Amino acid sequence: MSGARAARALIRLLSFASHTARDLREQPPPEEVSRIVVLHMSGIGDLILMTPALRALRRLYPRAHIDLITFRLSNAAFLFRLPAVRQGCEFPLFDLDLKWAWTLGFWRALERPVRFTRQEPCDLYVSFHHCWLPQWYLLELWLAVRSRARYKIGINPDFVRGPGVFDRALPESHMGERHYRPFLLDVVGLLGEAGKDLSMEFPLEPGEVRNAQEAIKTALPGKRRIICLHVGATHAAQLWPLDRFVELAKRFEADRDGLVLIGTKEERYLTERLADSLPSGTILDVAGTTTLFQMAAFIDASDLFIGNDSGPMHVAIARRRPTIGLIGPGRTRYHRYEPDEAVMFLNPVPFDIRDQKDAAFPWAITVDEVYAAAKDLLK
């Protein structure tokens, strides 16, 4: 039996046993909910897309605080600036492989979020993570079973009938081709009226934005407008070709606009190549030198953001900055924004990033298209 087939079989067994062993439980009334534990994995963008659902939870349970289980707390730092979000625990889901289930380290990693959930009574357990690997689902469902939560809701793989380990659940097929935000609101809708507000949150302090504005003014004096570029991405297949970013940057330079380059230290090799192609005094390259909040402040201090399908693009939209997203291989759940939120250029070449994350493929999005959209947004 393959690993995936074995994981599916274990999921079915775990779901059946959990459902059979427990009595039908009633959803606790809002006045009795003081602690909600939320699970969501992945990166900054996924967590930003969750913020409308968190706001809906806060509205349904105004007396509760929210604790978070996620892959890396550094990605979630902004969430702890939201009302009611209190503390978090890391769960290294993507680093765990069932073939190492015989090791002590595997079980220590798996038990860490269990202990976190049990350190205080948990009234609600909400799983927002939509997996695509059966073994990830298995580990997340195991965590839900071990949580001892009073009431649990979440997302089930389609091959699980009924709520499984949860008290109420949505099947993964409920996602369809929609954006993550309405899907996650539907998860909250299992508890009550979630509303339709899809606006996202990424809180910044006024001083953080002022510092970014002053840094830009010092490095790029006299520029008409400031364009923030993110030329990196998590996977190579998501990178709009750098030579097109270079040509685009030269057009902005000819318009007497200044350019701010953001990104991680791993992406600095890209920003340095771009910066070397333009005259000095045109570009402020802060890639690899900023915190998450400092990076967001540079986005906020700019007149326009242009970038690949990655976390900074979602930050720009959450901060309500004019945004152009360059979308190559990827699923609509991440980039199906409304036209008044962002301009999304979707590369028409079919491609499944799940299987070829570092593969090169032809991009049909041209510099002319992006520049024309930028001029429209800067009017």
DSSP letter string over 247-307? HHHHHHHHTT-EEEE---GGGHHHHHHHHHTS-TTSEEE-TTS--HHHHHHHHHTSSEEEE
Query: Domain with 129 in it: what CATH number?
Result: 3.40.50.2000
Residue 349 clears pLDDT 70, i.e. is over it: no
Question: What is the rounded CA–CA span in Å between residue 228 and residue 223?
Answer: 13
| The total number of residues written for the chain in this structure | 379
* pLDDT for the residue numbered 232: 92
Residue 200 lies in a domain: no
Q: Does residue 252 lie in a domain region?
A: yes
Least confident of 174-188, 303-317, 328-342: 328-342
Q: Are residues 258 and 175 in the same domain?
A: no
- Whether residue 194 is contained in a domain is answered as no
196 within a domain of the structure (yes/no): no
pLDDT of 111-145, one tens digit each? 999 999 999 999 999 999 988 788 889 899 999 99
pLDDT for the residue 10: 87
Give the mean model confidence (pLDDT) for residues 207-231.
Answer: 97
Q: Are residues 23 and 83 in the same domain?
A: yes
What was the pLDDT predicted at 355? 57
- What is 223-241 written as a DSSP string? -S-EEEEE---SSGGG---
19 and 165 share a domain? yes
Q: Say if residue 160 is in the same domain as residue 244.
A: no
Note whether 284 and 300 are within 8 A (CB). no
Domains held by the chain: number: 2
- Residue where one domain finishes, among candidates 155, 188, 221: 188
Same domain, yes or no: 275 and 133? no
Residue 118 lies in a domain: yes
Residues 237, 110 share a domain: no
In a shared domain, residues 182 and 227: no
Q: Confirm whether 197 is domain-assigned.
A: no
215: domain range? 206-377
Q: What is the pLDDT of residue 56?
A: 98
Dist. CA 153–CA 166, nearest whole Å: 5
Q: Is the pLDDT of residue 352 over 80?
A: no
What mean pLDDT comes out for the span 52-80? 97
For residue 57, what pLDDT is reported?
Answer: 98
Please tell me the predicted confidence (pLDDT) of residue 12.
Answer: 87
Shared domain check, 366 and 325: yes
Query: What does the pLDDT average to over 323-343?
Result: 90
Q: What pLDDT is attached to residue 356?
A: 62
- Both 103 and 169 in one domain: the answer is yes
The answer to whether residue 198 is domain-embedded is no
- Indicate if 180 and 223 belong to the same structural domain: no
By DSSP bridging, strand 283-285 and strand 226-230 are: unpaired
Residue scoring higher pLDDT (82 or 328) = 82
In a domain, 201, yes or no: no
> Looking at 188, 220, 246, which one is the last position of a domain?
188
Do 211 and 184 lie in one domain? The reply is: no
210 shares a domain with 63:
no
- pLDDT for 130 equals 85
The whole-number pLDDT of residue 238 equals 86
Q: How confident is the prediction for the chain on average, in pLDDT?
A: 92
